[in-house]
Amino acid sequence: MIVEKFISKAAWFIGGILVFAMATTLPAMAETRGPNGEKATPYTDISLTENQVAAVRAKNLKAAILMHSTSDWSNALIEGAKSTFSDLNVEIVAVTDAEFNANKQKTDVETALVRKPDIIISLVVDPVSGAAAFRPAIEQGSKLVLISNLPSGFEHGKDYAGIVTDDLYQMGKLAADLIADAVDSEGNIGFIYHEADYYVTNQRDQATLSSIEHFYPDIHVVAKQGIANANDGEVIASAMITQNPNIKAIYAPWDSIAEGVVAATRAAGRKDIKVVTMDLGAANALDMAKNRNVSGIVTDLPYDLGQTLARMGSLAKLGAYTPPFVTVGANAVTRDNLLDSWQQALRRPAPKSIHRALEK
């Protein structure tokens, strides 16, 4: 999922555990698991039969989408949910942005409940206060479908229909593969990881590092540095390049940090150092399109995630079984598939500047 520029301010824990621990554990056996160890159900398995579609349409249901923040990622997710709800004759009665503020999200819930939504989709900002904030919705009869984060004490089937999140291990493995492609599976690299207690980035970073160490033994991480402030990417990368002039690539945990890494490579005059990161961003995509430093980006599929959430909520309202933990896939983005990947992830065309750069 897209990581907000102010992510370090978010003091909440994303539900779920990634089962693979350290590099000594074989990444080939790793998989993303749910908060109680649940095996992940692929999002492609979540669908409605023709009879279920007709039943949902006949109910004239209402839904609320209560987001944690606003971003390209959030907007794509919302559009995906809206598209599916429209097909199912479900009216959207509220779309909110909590601005990463638990108190505002509580108010958003209270305001939405006035419209009596049958389905609520939300990424809960704080698991403790969020449990209390969403309890009235459950008592009112709303079916709650969660994005990534599990409120404290909530039980599947009783308090929520299911969690839908990214396949974090897959994202890390794809990043490792992109790094290997960039350096021909050998040589020294730098590795910047998110130095904060944030489940999504922590697990993506660990999956990337573990996959490199297991699948690509000839790639050596000679510089590893944590980052808490996204604005420090250029400083950290500059130090890596100065201290390790033979590095061939640098991994950055998300796109805004990667922008700083790219700036550092330019300042050092190092067009040869490749950059691999997570999450689509216009600046890095443009750098990739221009055949500069960014060689690989891993993106999730927020539009598909939104559609899955809408289907889960609709099935739950019919009384049908919904799995507790569902994961949405990811794509490895290169210059060759940049336009298609952008369209698939965000369901809108890439900026014209990227189109123009690819034509040269």
Which CATH number fits the domain that encloses residue 123?
3.40.50.2300
pLDDT for 68 beyond 50: yes
Residue 37's pLDDT is what? 84
Residues 152 and 252 in one domain: no
Residues 71 and 155 in one domain: yes
- The answer to whether position 34 is within a domain reads no
The answer to whether 195 and 226 are in contact (CB under 8 A) is yes
What percent of the chain lies above the pLDDT cut of 70? 91
Residues 191 and 70 in one domain: no
- The answer to whether position 149 is within a domain reads yes
- The answer to whether position 281 is within a domain reads yes
Strand boundaries in the chain, DSSP class E: 17-19, 31-33, 41-42, 62-67, 91-97, 119-122, 143-147, 162-166, 187-194, 219-227, 249-252, 274-278, 294-300, 325-328, 330-333
Residues 196 and 77 in one domain: no
- The answer to whether position 9 is within a domain reads no
Element (H, E) at 45: none
Q: Is 150 helix (H, G, I), strand (E, B) or coil?
A: coil
pLDDT category of residue 1 using cuts at 50, 70 and 90? low
Q: What is the distance between the alpha carbons of residues 321 and 231, in angstroms, rounded to a whole number? A: 44
Residues 203 and 337 in one domain: yes
- The answer to whether position 225 is within a domain reads yes
pLDDT category of residue 35 using cuts at 50, 70 and 90? confident
Domain count, the chain: 2
What are the pLDDT digits (tens) for 285-341?
A: 999 999 999 999 999 999 999 999 999 999 999 999 999 999 999 999 999 999 999
pLDDT for 8 beyond 70: no
Residue 251's pLDDT is what? 98
> Who's near 239: CB < 8 A, 6+ residues apart?
225
0.75 surpassed by pTM: yes
Report the pLDDT averaged over residues 54-76.
93
Residue carrying the six token digits 């669908």: 47
- The answer to whether position 3 is within a domain reads no
Strand boundaries in 73-118, DSSP class E: 91-97
Which residues, in sequence order, are bridge partners of residue 144? 120
- The 10 Å CB-count burial string (b at 16+, else e) for 126-161 is bbebbbebbbebbeeebbbbbbbbbbeebebeebbb
> Who's near 174: CB < 8 A, 6+ residues apart?
298, 330, 331, 332
Query: Range of 309's domain?
Result: 41-166+302-328
Residues 126 and 50 in one domain: yes
Residues 230 and 122 in one domain: no
Lowest pLDDT segment from 11-15, 291-295, 350-354: 11-15
Residue 199's pLDDT is what? 67
pLDDT for 20 beyond 70: no
Residues 144 and 272 in one domain: no
The answer to whether 52 and 320 are in contact (CB under 8 A) is yes
Residues 56 and 111 in one domain: yes
Residues 191 and 296 in one domain: yes
pLDDT category of residue 33 using cuts at 50, 70 and 90? confident
Residues 172 and 236 in one domain: yes
The answer to whether 66 and 112 are in contact (CB under 8 A) is yes
Residue 69's pLDDT is what? 85
pLDDT category of residue 27 using cuts at 50, 70 and 90? very low
